Chain A
Amino acid sequence: MALTKRIIPCIDVDLDEDGNAAVYTGVHFEDLQYTGDPVEMAKAYNDAGADEFVFLDITASAEGRETMLDTVSAVADECFIPLTVGGGIRTKADIKETLRAGADKVSITTGALERPELINEGAAAFGSQCIVISVDARRRYDEEGEHYVEVDGESCWFECTKKGGREGTGIDVIEWAREAESRGAGELFVNSIDADGTKDGYDVPLTSAVCDAVSTPVIASSGCGGPEDMYEVFTDAGADAALAASIFHFGEYTIREIKEYLDERDVPVRL
Protein backbone atom coordinates (compact mmCIF):
# COMPACT_ATOMS: atom_id res chain seq x y z
CA MET A 1 0.00 0.00 0.00
CA ALA A 2 1.66 3.18 -1.09
CA LEU A 3 1.21 6.57 -2.59
CA THR A 4 1.34 6.09 -6.34
CA LYS A 5 3.26 7.96 -9.00
CA ARG A 6 0.90 10.07 -11.06
CA ILE A 7 0.57 10.00 -14.85
CA ILE A 8 -0.78 13.30 -16.11
CA PRO A 9 -1.88 14.14 -19.63
CA CYS A 10 -1.67 17.81 -20.51
CA ILE A 11 -3.41 19.80 -23.20
CA ASP A 12 -2.43 23.20 -24.55
CA VAL A 13 -5.56 25.10 -25.48
CA ASP A 14 -5.78 28.07 -27.83
CA LEU A 15 -8.58 29.72 -29.75
CA ASP A 16 -9.16 28.49 -33.28
CA GLU A 17 -10.08 30.70 -36.24
CA ASP A 18 -13.72 30.78 -35.15
CA GLY A 19 -12.85 31.80 -31.60
CA ASN A 20 -13.55 28.38 -30.10
CA ALA A 21 -11.23 26.66 -27.66
CA ALA A 22 -9.14 23.95 -29.33
CA VAL A 23 -6.25 21.75 -28.30
CA TYR A 24 -2.81 22.39 -29.73
CA THR A 25 0.48 20.79 -29.03
CA GLY A 26 3.85 21.98 -30.16
CA VAL A 27 7.55 21.39 -30.34
CA HIS A 28 9.83 23.71 -28.38
CA PHE A 29 6.78 25.83 -27.50
CA GLU A 30 6.38 26.80 -31.17
CA ASP A 31 4.85 25.44 -34.39
CA LEU A 32 1.47 24.70 -32.88
CA GLN A 33 -0.60 21.95 -34.45
CA TYR A 34 -4.35 21.44 -34.03
CA THR A 35 -5.22 18.14 -32.39
CA GLY A 36 -8.74 18.21 -30.94
CA ASP A 37 -11.59 19.35 -28.74
CA PRO A 38 -10.60 19.97 -25.09
CA VAL A 39 -13.79 18.67 -23.49
CA GLU A 40 -13.76 15.44 -25.51
CA MET A 41 -10.10 14.92 -24.70
CA ALA A 42 -10.64 15.51 -20.98
CA LYS A 43 -13.47 13.00 -20.94
CA ALA A 44 -11.39 10.44 -22.82
CA TYR A 45 -8.43 10.82 -20.44
CA ASN A 46 -10.69 10.64 -17.40
CA ASP A 47 -12.10 7.36 -18.70
CA ALA A 48 -8.66 6.06 -19.69
CA GLY A 49 -7.29 6.17 -16.13
CA ALA A 50 -5.36 9.43 -16.05
CA ASP A 51 -4.46 10.43 -12.49
CA GLU A 52 -4.89 14.15 -13.10
CA PHE A 53 -5.45 16.44 -16.00
CA VAL A 54 -3.63 19.67 -16.86
CA PHE A 55 -5.16 22.35 -19.05
CA LEU A 56 -2.91 25.17 -20.21
CA ASP A 57 -4.50 28.24 -21.74
CA ILE A 58 -1.91 29.48 -24.19
CA THR A 59 -3.97 32.29 -25.69
CA ALA A 60 -2.71 34.79 -23.13
CA SER A 61 -5.19 37.33 -24.46
CA ALA A 62 -8.02 39.18 -22.77
CA GLU A 63 -10.61 38.07 -25.31
CA GLY A 64 -9.51 34.47 -24.96
CA ARG A 65 -9.83 34.52 -21.18
CA GLU A 66 -13.61 34.33 -20.93
CA THR A 67 -13.92 31.59 -23.54
CA MET A 68 -11.25 29.70 -21.63
CA LEU A 69 -13.07 29.91 -18.30
CA ASP A 70 -16.20 28.53 -19.99
CA THR A 71 -14.07 25.74 -21.42
CA VAL A 72 -12.53 25.06 -18.00
CA SER A 73 -16.06 24.65 -16.61
CA ALA A 74 -17.04 22.29 -19.40
CA VAL A 75 -13.86 20.27 -18.86
CA ALA A 76 -14.38 20.22 -15.07
CA ASP A 77 -17.87 18.81 -15.56
CA GLU A 78 -16.38 15.77 -17.31
CA CYS A 79 -13.35 15.37 -15.07
CA PHE A 80 -13.70 13.31 -11.88
CA ILE A 81 -9.98 13.58 -11.34
CA PRO A 82 -7.98 16.63 -10.23
CA LEU A 83 -7.84 19.41 -12.79
CA THR A 84 -4.99 21.92 -12.95
CA VAL A 85 -5.41 25.04 -15.07
CA GLY A 86 -2.59 27.37 -16.07
CA GLY A 87 -1.94 30.29 -18.38
CA GLY A 88 -2.15 34.01 -17.81
CA ILE A 89 -2.77 33.86 -14.06
CA ARG A 90 -1.35 37.04 -12.53
CA THR A 91 -3.60 38.13 -9.69
CA LYS A 92 -5.44 36.67 -6.72
CA ALA A 93 -8.66 37.44 -8.61
CA ASP A 94 -7.42 35.34 -11.56
CA ILE A 95 -6.77 32.44 -9.16
CA LYS A 96 -10.21 32.79 -7.64
CA GLU A 97 -12.11 32.87 -10.91
CA THR A 98 -10.15 29.90 -12.27
CA LEU A 99 -10.93 27.84 -9.16
CA ARG A 100 -14.55 28.94 -9.31
CA ALA A 101 -14.74 27.79 -12.92
CA GLY A 102 -13.95 24.30 -11.66
CA ALA A 103 -10.16 23.98 -11.47
CA ASP A 104 -8.75 22.21 -8.41
CA LYS A 105 -5.33 23.81 -8.79
CA VAL A 106 -3.85 26.70 -10.71
CA SER A 107 -0.46 26.63 -12.36
CA ILE A 108 1.38 29.96 -12.29
CA THR A 109 4.58 30.83 -14.16
CA THR A 110 5.23 34.44 -15.13
CA GLY A 111 2.76 35.95 -12.66
CA ALA A 112 4.76 34.55 -9.75
CA LEU A 113 8.19 35.46 -11.17
CA GLU A 114 7.07 39.05 -11.62
CA ARG A 115 5.37 39.31 -8.24
CA PRO A 116 6.37 36.47 -5.88
CA GLU A 117 3.88 37.69 -3.22
CA LEU A 118 1.17 36.22 -5.44
CA ILE A 119 2.20 32.79 -4.11
CA ASN A 120 1.72 33.89 -0.50
CA GLU A 121 -1.61 35.51 -1.30
CA GLY A 122 -2.91 32.51 -3.18
CA ALA A 123 -1.78 30.03 -0.54
CA ALA A 124 -3.26 32.10 2.29
CA ALA A 125 -6.60 32.54 0.57
CA PHE A 126 -7.11 29.17 -1.11
CA GLY A 127 -4.56 26.82 0.47
CA SER A 128 -1.14 25.64 -0.69
CA GLN A 129 -2.69 22.53 -2.22
CA CYS A 130 -4.06 24.53 -5.13
CA ILE A 131 -1.00 26.66 -5.87
CA VAL A 132 1.26 24.98 -8.41
CA ILE A 133 4.32 26.94 -9.43
CA SER A 134 5.47 26.15 -12.91
CA VAL A 135 8.98 26.80 -14.17
CA ASP A 136 10.10 26.86 -17.80
CA ALA A 137 13.77 26.02 -17.30
CA ARG A 138 16.55 26.50 -19.80
CA ARG A 139 20.10 25.20 -19.53
CA ARG A 140 22.82 27.79 -19.43
CA TYR A 141 26.51 27.03 -19.61
CA ASP A 142 27.85 30.43 -18.48
CA GLU A 143 29.07 31.68 -15.12
CA GLU A 144 25.94 33.54 -14.04
CA GLY A 145 24.09 30.79 -12.19
CA GLU A 146 24.15 29.72 -8.56
CA HIS A 147 23.64 25.96 -8.71
CA TYR A 148 25.53 23.92 -11.25
CA VAL A 149 25.15 20.31 -12.31
CA GLU A 150 27.33 18.16 -14.53
CA VAL A 151 25.60 17.11 -17.72
CA ASP A 152 27.57 15.07 -20.24
CA GLY A 153 30.86 16.37 -18.87
CA GLU A 154 29.78 20.00 -18.97
CA SER A 155 28.69 22.19 -16.12
CA CYS A 156 25.38 24.00 -16.51
CA TRP A 157 22.76 25.81 -14.47
CA PHE A 158 19.05 26.21 -15.07
CA GLU A 159 17.47 29.57 -15.72
CA CYS A 160 13.78 30.43 -15.26
CA THR A 161 12.34 31.78 -18.48
CA LYS A 162 9.15 33.68 -19.25
CA LYS A 163 6.79 33.65 -22.20
CA GLY A 164 7.34 30.00 -22.95
CA GLY A 165 11.11 30.28 -23.11
CA ARG A 166 11.26 33.40 -25.24
CA GLU A 167 12.53 35.62 -22.43
CA GLY A 168 15.23 34.95 -19.85
CA THR A 169 15.10 36.19 -16.26
CA GLY A 170 18.54 35.43 -14.87
CA ILE A 171 16.81 33.66 -11.96
CA ASP A 172 18.27 30.30 -10.97
CA VAL A 173 15.58 27.60 -11.01
CA ILE A 174 16.85 25.96 -7.82
CA GLU A 175 16.76 29.24 -5.89
CA TRP A 176 13.32 30.00 -7.25
CA ALA A 177 12.00 26.54 -6.39
CA ARG A 178 13.09 26.99 -2.77
CA GLU A 179 11.60 30.46 -2.61
CA ALA A 180 8.32 29.32 -4.15
CA GLU A 181 8.11 26.51 -1.61
CA SER A 182 8.81 28.83 1.32
CA ARG A 183 6.12 31.20 0.08
CA GLY A 184 3.54 28.43 0.08
CA ALA A 185 3.64 26.65 -3.27
CA GLY A 186 2.05 23.21 -2.92
CA GLU A 187 3.63 21.63 -5.98
CA LEU A 188 6.27 22.42 -8.55
CA PHE A 189 5.73 21.83 -12.19
CA VAL A 190 9.09 21.54 -13.99
CA ASN A 191 9.19 22.16 -17.73
CA SER A 192 12.34 22.07 -19.81
CA ILE A 193 12.71 24.32 -22.81
CA ASP A 194 15.60 22.13 -23.96
CA ALA A 195 13.64 18.88 -23.80
CA ASP A 196 10.22 20.17 -24.85
CA GLY A 197 8.80 18.37 -27.86
CA THR A 198 11.94 16.31 -28.46
CA LYS A 199 10.60 12.98 -27.15
CA ASP A 200 14.18 12.25 -26.08
CA GLY A 201 13.19 11.96 -22.44
CA TYR A 202 12.69 14.31 -19.52
CA ASP A 203 15.49 16.58 -18.38
CA VAL A 204 16.58 14.25 -15.59
CA PRO A 205 19.42 16.43 -14.18
CA LEU A 206 16.98 19.36 -13.93
CA THR A 207 14.17 17.35 -12.36
CA SER A 208 16.57 15.65 -10.00
CA ALA A 209 18.08 18.96 -8.86
CA VAL A 210 14.63 20.40 -8.12
CA CYS A 211 13.52 17.24 -6.28
CA ASP A 212 16.65 17.43 -4.11
CA ALA A 213 16.10 21.13 -3.36
CA VAL A 214 12.51 21.05 -2.14
CA SER A 215 10.18 18.82 -0.19
CA THR A 216 6.99 19.64 -2.10
CA PRO A 217 5.82 17.26 -4.83
CA VAL A 218 7.47 17.71 -8.23
CA ILE A 219 5.78 17.12 -11.56
CA ALA A 220 8.22 16.41 -14.38
CA SER A 221 7.28 17.75 -17.78
CA SER A 222 8.67 18.13 -21.32
CA GLY A 223 10.36 15.54 -23.50
CA CYS A 224 8.44 12.34 -22.81
CA GLY A 225 8.71 9.87 -25.68
CA GLY A 226 7.40 6.76 -23.95
CA PRO A 227 7.07 4.70 -20.77
CA GLU A 228 10.84 4.24 -20.37
CA ASP A 229 11.21 8.02 -20.02
CA MET A 230 8.62 8.06 -17.26
CA TYR A 231 10.37 5.17 -15.54
CA GLU A 232 13.65 7.09 -15.69
CA VAL A 233 12.24 10.33 -14.29
CA PHE A 234 10.50 8.49 -11.43
CA THR A 235 13.40 6.28 -10.43
CA ASP A 236 16.48 8.38 -11.32
CA ALA A 237 15.14 11.88 -10.61
CA GLY A 238 12.58 11.14 -7.90
CA ALA A 239 9.65 12.91 -9.57
CA ASP A 240 6.23 12.45 -7.98
CA ALA A 241 4.32 12.79 -11.20
CA ALA A 242 5.09 12.74 -14.89
CA LEU A 243 3.30 14.79 -17.47
CA ALA A 244 3.05 14.13 -21.17
CA ALA A 245 1.11 15.54 -24.08
CA SER A 246 1.82 14.35 -27.59
CA ILE A 247 2.44 10.65 -26.85
CA PHE A 248 -1.15 10.45 -25.59
CA HIS A 249 -2.80 12.85 -28.03
CA PHE A 250 -1.48 11.03 -31.05
CA GLY A 251 -2.34 7.64 -29.60
CA GLU A 252 1.24 6.38 -29.46
CA TYR A 253 0.65 4.99 -25.98
CA THR A 254 -2.38 4.58 -23.80
CA ILE A 255 -2.25 5.52 -20.14
CA ARG A 256 -2.93 1.88 -19.35
CA GLU A 257 0.11 0.72 -21.34
CA ILE A 258 2.34 3.20 -19.54
CA LYS A 259 1.04 2.14 -16.14
CA GLU A 260 1.45 -1.56 -16.89
CA TYR A 261 5.03 -0.93 -17.96
CA LEU A 262 5.72 0.90 -14.69
CA ASP A 263 3.86 -1.65 -12.56
CA GLU A 264 5.95 -4.48 -14.02
CA ARG A 265 9.03 -2.58 -12.87
CA ASP A 266 7.72 -2.03 -9.35
CA VAL A 267 6.88 1.64 -9.70
CA PRO A 268 3.66 2.11 -7.69
CA VAL A 269 0.82 3.23 -9.96
CA ARG A 270 -2.97 3.23 -9.80
CA LEU A 271 -4.14 0.50 -12.14
Chain B
Amino acid sequence: MPGETIAEETIADVVVVDYGLGNLRSVTRGLERAGAGVEITDDPDDFAAADGVVLPGVGAFREGMENAGPYREALANYAAAGRPLFGICLGMQMLLGSSEEAKHAGEGDVEGLNLIPGTNVRFDVDRKIPHMGWNELAVTRDHPVVAGVDGEYAYFVHSYYALPDDDDAVVAESDYGASFPAVIANERGNVFGTQFHPEKSGETGLRILRNFVDYCADG
Protein backbone atom coordinates (compact mmCIF):
# COMPACT_ATOMS: atom_id res chain seq x y z
CA MET B 1 0.00 0.00 0.00
CA PRO B 2 1.39 3.47 -0.79
CA GLY B 3 2.78 5.21 2.25
CA GLU B 4 3.33 2.00 4.21
CA THR B 5 7.01 1.34 4.63
CA ILE B 6 6.99 -2.00 6.40
CA ALA B 7 10.49 -2.81 5.10
CA GLU B 8 12.12 0.05 7.05
CA GLU B 9 10.80 -1.30 10.33
CA THR B 10 11.78 -4.91 9.69
CA ILE B 11 13.90 -6.29 12.49
CA ALA B 12 14.40 -9.87 11.28
CA ASP B 13 13.95 -11.84 8.08
CA VAL B 14 11.78 -14.90 8.49
CA VAL B 15 10.81 -17.59 6.02
CA VAL B 16 7.47 -19.39 6.16
CA VAL B 17 7.67 -22.90 4.74
CA ASP B 18 5.07 -23.44 2.04
CA TYR B 19 4.61 -27.18 1.91
CA GLY B 20 1.16 -26.95 0.40
CA LEU B 21 -1.06 -26.93 3.49
CA GLY B 22 -2.80 -24.18 5.32
CA ASN B 23 -3.58 -20.53 5.24
CA LEU B 24 -0.21 -18.80 4.89
CA ARG B 25 -1.71 -15.38 4.45
CA SER B 26 -2.68 -14.85 8.06
CA VAL B 27 0.58 -16.12 9.50
CA THR B 28 2.47 -13.91 7.07
CA ARG B 29 0.42 -10.86 8.00
CA GLY B 30 0.87 -11.60 11.70
CA LEU B 31 4.65 -11.89 11.35
CA GLU B 32 4.79 -8.68 9.32
CA ARG B 33 2.75 -6.91 11.96
CA ALA B 34 5.28 -8.23 14.49
CA GLY B 35 8.14 -6.60 12.61
CA ALA B 36 9.42 -9.38 10.38
CA GLY B 37 10.28 -9.32 6.72
CA VAL B 38 8.55 -12.45 5.48
CA GLU B 39 9.30 -14.69 2.54
CA ILE B 40 7.04 -17.62 1.75
CA THR B 41 9.17 -20.34 0.25
CA ASP B 42 9.04 -23.92 -0.96
CA ASP B 43 12.83 -24.01 -1.43
CA PRO B 44 14.85 -25.45 1.49
CA ASP B 45 17.91 -23.54 0.20
CA ASP B 46 16.23 -20.33 1.37
CA PHE B 47 16.43 -21.37 5.04
CA ALA B 48 20.16 -20.68 5.50
CA ALA B 49 19.90 -16.93 4.91
CA ALA B 50 16.85 -16.48 7.17
CA ASP B 51 16.95 -15.29 10.79
CA GLY B 52 14.16 -17.72 11.59
CA VAL B 53 11.99 -20.41 10.00
CA VAL B 54 8.26 -20.87 10.59
CA LEU B 55 6.63 -24.23 9.96
CA PRO B 56 2.89 -23.51 9.78
CA GLY B 57 0.18 -26.04 9.24
CA VAL B 58 -3.32 -27.27 9.52
CA GLY B 59 -4.59 -30.68 8.54
CA ALA B 60 -3.54 -34.24 9.09
CA PHE B 61 -0.17 -35.46 10.40
CA ARG B 62 0.49 -37.97 7.63
CA GLU B 63 -0.29 -35.54 4.85
CA GLY B 64 1.76 -32.88 6.59
CA MET B 65 4.80 -35.13 6.90
CA GLU B 66 4.49 -36.35 3.34
CA ASN B 67 4.39 -32.79 2.09
CA ALA B 68 7.17 -31.68 4.42
CA GLY B 69 9.39 -34.61 3.43
CA PRO B 70 11.59 -32.58 1.07
CA TYR B 71 12.36 -30.16 3.95
CA ARG B 72 13.30 -32.76 6.54
CA GLU B 73 17.06 -32.52 6.12
CA ALA B 74 17.16 -28.75 5.77
CA LEU B 75 15.00 -28.31 8.88
CA ALA B 76 17.18 -30.76 10.86
CA ASN B 77 20.33 -28.91 9.83
CA TYR B 78 18.81 -25.55 10.66
CA ALA B 79 17.75 -26.77 14.10
CA ALA B 80 21.11 -28.42 14.75
CA ALA B 81 22.83 -25.10 14.01
CA GLY B 82 20.90 -23.61 16.93
CA ARG B 83 18.79 -21.32 14.80
CA PRO B 84 15.13 -20.43 15.54
CA LEU B 85 12.55 -22.86 14.22
CA PHE B 86 8.92 -22.20 15.14
CA GLY B 87 6.17 -24.75 14.49
CA ILE B 88 2.54 -23.71 14.62
CA CYS B 89 -0.31 -26.17 15.31
CA LEU B 90 0.31 -29.14 12.98
CA GLY B 91 3.74 -27.60 12.37
CA MET B 92 4.44 -28.01 16.09
CA GLN B 93 3.16 -31.58 16.15
CA MET B 94 5.50 -32.37 13.26
CA LEU B 95 8.47 -31.38 15.42
CA LEU B 96 7.89 -34.55 17.45
CA GLY B 97 8.78 -38.12 16.53
CA SER B 98 5.37 -39.61 15.79
CA SER B 99 1.61 -39.25 16.12
CA GLU B 100 -1.29 -41.46 17.10
CA GLU B 101 -3.21 -39.70 14.36
CA ALA B 102 -1.56 -41.70 11.59
CA LYS B 103 -2.17 -44.95 13.50
CA HIS B 104 -5.73 -43.90 14.23
CA ALA B 105 -6.29 -43.33 10.52
CA GLY B 106 -4.96 -46.86 9.82
CA GLU B 107 -1.85 -45.51 8.16
CA GLY B 108 0.68 -47.15 10.47
CA ASP B 109 3.57 -45.21 11.92
CA VAL B 110 4.49 -41.96 10.24
CA GLU B 111 7.79 -40.51 11.29
CA GLY B 112 7.85 -36.91 12.42
CA LEU B 113 10.85 -34.56 12.31
CA ASN B 114 11.90 -35.80 15.75
CA LEU B 115 13.49 -32.51 16.78
CA ILE B 116 11.70 -32.75 20.13
CA PRO B 117 11.38 -36.40 21.24
CA GLY B 118 7.81 -37.45 21.94
CA THR B 119 4.53 -38.35 20.31
CA ASN B 120 1.20 -36.68 19.56
CA VAL B 121 -1.79 -38.21 21.29
CA ARG B 122 -5.53 -37.85 20.93
CA PHE B 123 -7.57 -36.13 23.62
CA ASP B 124 -9.04 -38.77 25.88
CA VAL B 125 -11.56 -36.62 27.71
CA ASP B 126 -15.32 -36.46 27.98
CA ARG B 127 -15.47 -33.26 25.96
CA LYS B 128 -16.18 -32.23 22.41
CA ILE B 129 -13.40 -33.05 19.97
CA PRO B 130 -11.80 -31.04 18.40
CA HIS B 131 -10.82 -28.71 21.20
CA MET B 132 -11.84 -25.54 19.45
CA GLY B 133 -11.82 -22.02 20.76
CA TRP B 134 -10.05 -19.69 23.15
CA ASN B 135 -8.32 -21.20 26.14
CA GLU B 136 -6.06 -19.89 28.86
CA LEU B 137 -2.27 -20.27 28.88
CA ALA B 138 -0.36 -21.20 32.01
CA VAL B 139 3.35 -20.64 31.50
CA THR B 140 5.30 -23.38 33.30
CA ARG B 141 8.84 -22.24 32.60
CA ASP B 142 10.77 -19.36 31.06
CA HIS B 143 11.22 -19.19 27.33
CA PRO B 144 11.56 -16.01 25.26
CA VAL B 145 8.55 -16.85 23.09
CA VAL B 146 6.07 -16.86 26.01
CA ALA B 147 7.23 -13.67 27.70
CA GLY B 148 4.23 -11.70 28.94
CA VAL B 149 1.48 -14.16 28.04
CA ASP B 150 0.89 -16.10 31.26
CA GLY B 151 -2.85 -16.14 31.98
CA GLU B 152 -3.78 -14.81 28.55
CA TYR B 153 -6.04 -16.57 26.03
CA ALA B 154 -5.10 -18.17 22.73
CA TYR B 155 -7.10 -19.74 19.91
CA PHE B 156 -6.86 -23.52 19.57
CA VAL B 157 -8.30 -25.98 17.11
CA HIS B 158 -7.00 -29.53 17.35
CA SER B 159 -7.90 -33.11 18.25
CA TYR B 160 -4.36 -34.29 19.06
CA TYR B 161 -1.74 -32.70 21.26
CA ALA B 162 2.00 -33.00 21.69
CA LEU B 163 3.30 -35.15 24.51
CA PRO B 164 7.09 -34.69 24.74
CA ASP B 165 9.10 -37.48 26.41
CA ASP B 166 10.84 -34.92 28.59
CA ASP B 167 8.55 -32.91 30.90
CA ASP B 168 11.00 -30.04 30.71
CA ALA B 169 10.10 -29.61 27.05
CA VAL B 170 6.75 -28.17 28.17
CA VAL B 171 6.84 -24.35 28.29
CA ALA B 172 3.15 -23.59 28.73
CA GLU B 173 0.05 -25.64 29.38
CA SER B 174 -3.64 -25.29 28.86
CA ASP B 175 -6.56 -27.28 30.21
CA TYR B 176 -9.28 -29.18 28.41
CA GLY B 177 -10.62 -31.75 30.80
CA ALA B 178 -6.96 -32.49 31.52
CA SER B 179 -3.95 -30.27 31.22
CA PHE B 180 -1.95 -30.58 28.00
CA PRO B 181 1.12 -28.84 26.54
CA ALA B 182 0.28 -25.63 24.69
CA VAL B 183 3.88 -24.52 24.00
CA ILE B 184 6.89 -26.80 23.80
CA ALA B 185 10.61 -26.28 23.19
CA ASN B 186 13.72 -28.38 22.82
CA GLU B 187 16.46 -28.37 25.46
CA ARG B 188 18.54 -25.79 23.65
CA GLY B 189 15.48 -23.59 23.27
CA ASN B 190 15.83 -22.81 19.57
CA VAL B 191 13.19 -25.28 18.35
CA PHE B 192 9.73 -24.55 19.70
CA GLY B 193 6.10 -24.60 18.80
CA THR B 194 2.62 -23.57 19.83
CA GLN B 195 -0.41 -25.85 19.62
CA PHE B 196 -2.60 -22.76 19.22
CA HIS B 197 -2.56 -20.32 16.33
CA PRO B 198 -0.75 -17.14 17.38
CA GLU B 199 -1.76 -15.48 14.11
CA LYS B 200 -5.40 -15.96 15.15
CA SER B 201 -5.00 -15.18 18.85
CA GLY B 202 -5.49 -11.43 18.79
CA GLU B 203 -3.13 -9.28 20.86
CA THR B 204 -1.76 -12.26 22.79
CA GLY B 205 -0.85 -13.99 19.56
CA LEU B 206 0.80 -10.88 18.18
CA ARG B 207 2.81 -10.64 21.41
CA ILE B 208 4.08 -14.19 20.84
CA LEU B 209 4.95 -13.41 17.23
CA ARG B 210 6.82 -10.28 18.36
CA ASN B 211 8.67 -12.38 20.94
CA PHE B 212 9.64 -14.77 18.16
CA VAL B 213 10.77 -12.01 15.82
CA ASP B 214 12.84 -10.42 18.63
CA TYR B 215 14.38 -13.82 19.36
CA CYS B 216 15.27 -14.19 15.66
CA ALA B 217 16.82 -10.70 15.65
CA ASP B 218 18.94 -11.52 18.71
CA GLY B 219 20.13 -14.82 17.22
Contact = CB atoms under 8 A, between A and B. Distances in A.
B133 interface: yes
Contacts, number: 93
A46 B136 contact: no
Nearest to A105: B157
Interface of B: 23, 25-26, 29-30, 33, 58-60, 127-136, 138, 153, 155, 157-158, 174-176, 197, 199-203, 205-206
A130 B58 contact: yes
Name which of B59, B138, B175 has the most chain A CB atoms within 10 A of its CB. Answer: B59
Contacts of B127: 3
A240 interface: yes
B209 to A, nearest CB: 9
A270 B134 contact: yes
A186 interface: yes
Interface string A231-260: 000000000110000000000000000000
Interface string A87-127: 00000000000011111100000000000000000000011
A2 B175 contact: yes
Q: Is chain A's binding surface mostly helix, strand, loop or mixed?
A: loop
Contacts of A186: 130, 132, 157
A187 interface: yes
Contacts of A104: 23, 26, 200
Chain A interface category by residue count: 35 or more
Contacts of B130: 128-129, 186, 217
A103 B25 CA distance: 9
Closest 6 CB pairs of A and B: A270-B153, A1-B175, A127-B59, A270-B134, A1-B136, A129-B157
Given A4-B135, A127-B58, A215-B129, A80 B23 contact: no
A51 B154 CA distance: 10
Name which of B133, B135, B202 has the most chain A CB atoms within 10 A of its CB. Answer: B133
